[in-house]
Structure 1
């Protein structure tokens, strides 16, 4: 009688290991090392999305490289109306905005609205690798132009919180919130 139970346990162990491997590969592919297109030499705007990591450094590197004539930074409500935005750069218009709602959805809607007003055809969004594909999806739903993504490093301690969050947020974006 031991034999069938042992066989059943082995099969269950194999399935559990396979699920873990598939989950790990998907996590790495989607959130750690996302497959992003190369950045264009020039875009209409660079938009820094709010969130963890040193996004300012990546954004300013793109600004100094002359990638766009406009740079916009998403700020949190406590920064609204303050001078805590990206530094002025010669020849580059700097905008700060406080998205409503204060999420990627609000940021995507802002990008869509401003892009329509200014006739933008392309944007580079700056975020972290874990957020890159979902941010690109959200912005693409609100902005019909080309959406490229530049990533800034995510501190190692944030990965433990961001991976579960990004899984849940991605499911929500793909299944429950499918419009702009």
Structure 2
């Protein structure tokens, strides 16, 4: 039988009919997810800018002690020395978190000043360890008001952690921080993760 002799099968009411196109809910779901992620990301960046890049600091006034939290850059230690030299406190406590062998810290920890300087290595080697040392010194020396210095993206988290260990007044001071997209992107990730850890840690 030739192709021309083939008969087409008639379409009857009982014959299957291809379904008509329906709206695509999957596409709507993808769009909704994209919008949600964009909104959450915008909110995270906005909150992070306020918390990390432009944290709340406090007006300077005399205190019982100045505490410099450890880490780099070293400008934070210069800020602490300057405030002590200007008479804001008779005691300067420095966290030597870069290690006992860091010779860059000698000018701060082994210098001769008209005020007391004490350096310590935190245990554990974290902001929580620094806060615990602050609590011990405050109880030993009767501190009720301290000035705490750290670099800008760490200020808010440091206030929260130190505040869990020290029930006196805190004056937070921000020292300069590096600039650049790479640095601040890393700070957003690091500080946010550490914030979660701090919230989940009970007590001092």
TM-score (norm: length of structure 1): 0.87
In 2, Cα distance between equivalents of 1:78 and 1:22: 37
Identify the residue that residue 63 of structure 2 maps to in structure 1: 43
1:89 Cα deviation from its structure 2 partner? 5.9
Distance 1:85 1:135, change over 3 A: farther
Q: How does 1:4-83 map to 2 (within 5 A)?
A: 4-39=25-60, 41-53=61-73, 54-76=75-97, 78-79=99-100
1:128 Cα deviation from its structure 2 partner? 1.3
Identify the residue that residue 171 of structure 2 maps to in structure 1: 148
- Give secondary structure in 1 for the equivalent of 2:161: helix
The answer (yes or no) to whether the contact 2:66–2:93 under 8 Å persists in 1 is yes
In 2, Cα distance between equivalents of 1:160 and 1:19: 16
Structure with max Cα Rg = 2
1:162 Cα deviation from its structure 2 partner? 2.3
1:14 Cα deviation from its structure 2 partner? 2.1
- Give secondary structure in 2 for the equivalent of 1:86: helix
TM-score (norm: length of structure 2): 0.78
1:81 Cα deviation from its structure 2 partner? 9.9
1:4 Cα deviation from its structure 2 partner? 4.4
- Give secondary structure in 2 for the equivalent of 1:178: coil
In 2, Cα distance between equivalents of 1:76 and 1:179: 22
The answer (yes or no) to whether the contact 2:71–2:98 under 8 Å persists in 1 is no
The answer (yes or no) to whether the contact 2:70–2:98 under 8 Å persists in 1 is no
Identify the residue that residue 189 of structure 2 maps to in structure 1: 164
Structure with more relative contact order (C-alpha pairs < 8 Å, separation 6 or more): 1
